[in-house]
Structure 1
Amino acid sequence: MRFTAEHPVGQQGCAPQLYQGDGLARFARATEDAGFGALAFTEHPAPSLKWLERGGHASLDPLAALAFCAAATTRLRLLTYLLVLPYRNPLLLAKTIATVDQLSGGRLTIGAGSGYLRSEFGALGVEFEERGALLDEALDVLRELWTGESYVGEGRHFTARGQVSVPGPVQLPHPPVWLGGNGRNARRRVARTAQGWAPLLIGDEAAATTRTAALKSPAELKDAVDELREMLADAGRDPATVDVQVQSRQSDFPGKPGGSLEEHRHHVGELAEAGVTWFVVRTSGADVGAACDALAAYGRDVINAG
């Protein structure tokens, strides 16, 4: 099992210092020093005030933030969690991805999804009902753009007549892609084209909000992972080469009062038995020191506990 630290910018009351230069660099270095495998940023470039007031969250631009963190670290993988591919022209997106992968020395992982906030699609001028098709289109472009001398393609909203994207990424043919979404269609996409699956362990209410299927327990998750492995085998792919990253209620650390470290370790063990290879951890955002102390504690008590 490896571990991803999600930056706390999305938490209510996150201290501004955590998403400013010195504090962000300190958080990134603390993540690496604690033994985490990756640092993640989510994205919501144009959410509505209504969504924010009903429990939504702030965000940085994930690729820009990860480029900054690349300069403050040497080993840590850099994860977009999740990048909404339909929001962008895929060739512009490819250029940004390649740039971050170059600047980080090949440490970028593209956590990607189709998005779920209808108002955000409208604000960005993207048809909400096209999001699935645009996701597939972007995945095709990212896979094909760097494999030939030039790219020719007719997209829904672009025409490429021999375009190039140079320099390309360090990781070829492209950085690994992990797809979010709990449903069977997400697993089918992973089996067809991706290197990882990033579901959420959530109940019915949260699933309805994020327009995905509920996965309520490690047992249900295991069934889904087993199905994914069958899909991968049917596609002629080795299931062992595809990662599974999960976020759950236990991702918040320290947890709610009354929860114990032993319960948390047991939960992580259950996920590992279900086939999970990465677990997401979210620390306090009260201030830079508290966040870094929580990272160090998690490294000591969970990641490196033996």
Structure 2
Amino acid sequence: MKFALAASGMDNYPPAMAPWEPKSGSAEILRFAQKADSLTWDWLTIPEHVMMPNDMVQHMGTRFVEGISAAAVLMGATQRIHMMTYILALPYRHPLLLAKQIATMEFIAGGRFTLGTAVGHLEKEFEALNVPFEQRGKITDEYIQVLKQAWTSDTPAFDGEFVKFKDVVIEPKPVQKPHPPIFIGGNSKPAMRRAAQLGDGWIPWLVTAENLPECIQYMKSLPEYQEKADRFEILVTTTAYAQDDHHVAYGETNIAGDRDGVLREIEGLKKAGATSVQVRPPKVETFEQCLEWIEWFDREIIPQFR
């Protein structure tokens, strides 16, 4: 079992935000990452939105970092731990530029990056970036193919609906082979198909231990999944968000922080088929308490599942 730790201080998402986070800044964010790096956590997950529509602020908050620059800074501040965008909306960036950014981080930092991506869901964000919202699925599928072509081919070329190029060289190549892992987010059947067909893992949202087996069974029915079943990651958050698909709360989100509660959550997800979990620290009062908790989790919980 692998463990991803939500990088605190990078968003102010109301359902999960701890009291110390709104006033946090670079000092806390870097110390948090370096503490996780000194332990055995596998990934730090980095949230992202380019902007937040005013009508969504009460549901999602205002602070969201840009995922690639945040990952680059944290990779420079750490030595071992991997970074994962959770989640970068792929249609927002030209795939050649994104491929170059990721390959550059990989080349300098010695790998250590996983692209967590999806089609995106905030229509006003698409409008501001002049990206067609209705075509986001088709764009995402094509962009993933472009990324792989740029990362793996010595003579990269592509002739698609949205991207065309040939007679170019794209270097440096990423350190991880054949390319950095690509985990696909989303709960719909198209998202699960995309993960099985084009991804190396699936990172759903609002999927619980109760409905996870049905989702996995669907992906297993796809021929493309069988080819990668032994290396396909299914990463599920341990936080049971009291939110709908539009981030509107219908209750209070409780994040377990005690040993028995944490163990029950992880054991349930593992039994349901998860190969990895994303963990969000509980809503402790102070930053120092948060550091103590992630160290406690590393000592008391992670060894139970290795």
TM class by shorter chain equals 0.7 to 0.9
Shift of the alpha carbon at 1:102?
Answer: 1.6
Q: Map 1:148-187 to 2 at 5 A.
A: 148-187=153-192
Deviations 1:145-189 (A, max 9, x none): 233233222344443132322111111331010000112212211
Q: Does the 8 Å contact 1:79/1:108 carry over to 2?
A: yes
Deviations 1:201-252 (A, max 9, x none): x2xxxxxxxxxxxx4x4131012112223325x5550412100000143589
In 1: Cα distance, 2:89 partner to 2:141 partner: 12
Residue in structure 1 matched with residue 295 of structure 2 by the alignment: 296
Q: Aligned in 2, Cα 1:17/1:29: closer, same or farther, shift over 3 Å?
A: farther
Residue in structure 2 matched with residue 275 of structure 1 by the alignment: 273
In 2: Cα distance, 1:112 partner to 1:172 partner: 19
Q: Aligned in 2, Cα 1:55/1:238: closer, same or farther, shift over 3 Å?
A: closer
Residue in structure 2 matched with residue 97 of structure 1 by the alignment: 102
Q: Map 1:150-299 to 2 at 5 A.
A: 150-200=155-205, 202=206, 215=207, 217-232=208-223, 236-250=226-240, 256=254, 260-283=258-281, 284=283, 287-299=286-298
In 1: Cα distance, 2:60 partner to 2:184 partner: 24
In structure 1, stretches of 5+ residues that fail to align are 203-214
In structure 2, stretches of 5+ residues that fail to align are 243-252
Residue in structure 1 matched with residue 11 of structure 2 by the alignment: 10
The correspondence for 1:78, drawn from 77, 83, 104, is 83
Letter in 2 for 1:221: L
SS at match of 2:166: strand
In 2: Cα distance, 1:112 partner to 1:102 partner: 21
Q: Is 144-153 or 39-48 further displaced after alignment?
A: 144-153
Letter in 1 for 2:40: G
In 2: Cα distance, 1:155 partner to 1:302 partner: 47
Letter in 1 for 2:288: G
In 1: Cα distance, 2:157 partner to 2:92 partner: 21
Q: Does the 8 Å contact 1:251/1:280 carry over to 2?
A: no
Q: Aligned in 2, Cα 1:292/1:221: closer, same or farther, shift over 3 Å?
A: same
Q: Does the 8 Å contact 1:29/1:73 carry over to 2?
A: yes
Residue in structure 2 matched with residue 208 of structure 1 by the alignment: none
Q: Does the 8 Å contact 2:157/2:168 carry over to 1?
A: yes
Letter in 2 for 1:111: G
SS at match of 1:304: helix
Under a length normalisation based on structure 1, what TM-score does the superposition of the two structures give? 0.85
Paired positions, count: 288
Q: Is 10-19 or 124-133 further displaced after alignment?
A: 10-19
Letter in 1 for 2:230: A
In 1: Cα distance, 2:181 partner to 2:11 partner: 24
Q: Is 145-154 or 175-184 further displaced after alignment?
A: 145-154
Residue 64 (1) aligns with residue 57 (2):
no
Shift of the alpha carbon at 1:302?
Answer: 1.5
Q: Is 75-84 or 157-166 further displaced after alignment?
A: 157-166
In 2: Cα distance, 1:275 partner to 1:89 partner: 34
Q: Aligned in 2, Cα 1:78/1:251: closer, same or farther, shift over 3 Å?
A: farther
SS at match of 1:178: strand
Q: Does the 8 Å contact 1:190/1:196 carry over to 2?
A: yes
Shift of the alpha carbon at 1:44?
Answer: 0.3
Letter in 2 for 1:6: A
Residue 139 (1) aligns with residue 144 (2):
yes
In 2: Cα distance, 1:257 partner to 1:159 partner: 46
Residue in structure 2 matched with residue 41 of structure 1 by the alignment: 46
Deviations 1:54-82 (A, max 9, x none): 33452111111111111222221110111
Under a length normalisation based on structure 2, what TM-score does the superposition of the two structures give? 0.85
Q: Aligned in 2, Cα 1:126/1:238: closer, same or farther, shift over 3 Å?
A: closer
Shift of the alpha carbon at 1:39?
Answer: 0.3
Q: Aligned in 2, Cα 1:296/1:236: closer, same or farther, shift over 3 Å?
A: closer
Q: Does the 8 Å contact 2:20/2:287 carry over to 1?
A: no
Q: Is 176-185 or 288-297 further displaced after alignment?
A: 288-297
Q: Does the 8 Å contact 2:115/2:183 carry over to 1?
A: yes
Shift of the alpha carbon at 1:144?
Answer: 1.3
What is the alpha-carbon root mean square deviation over aligned residues? 2.5
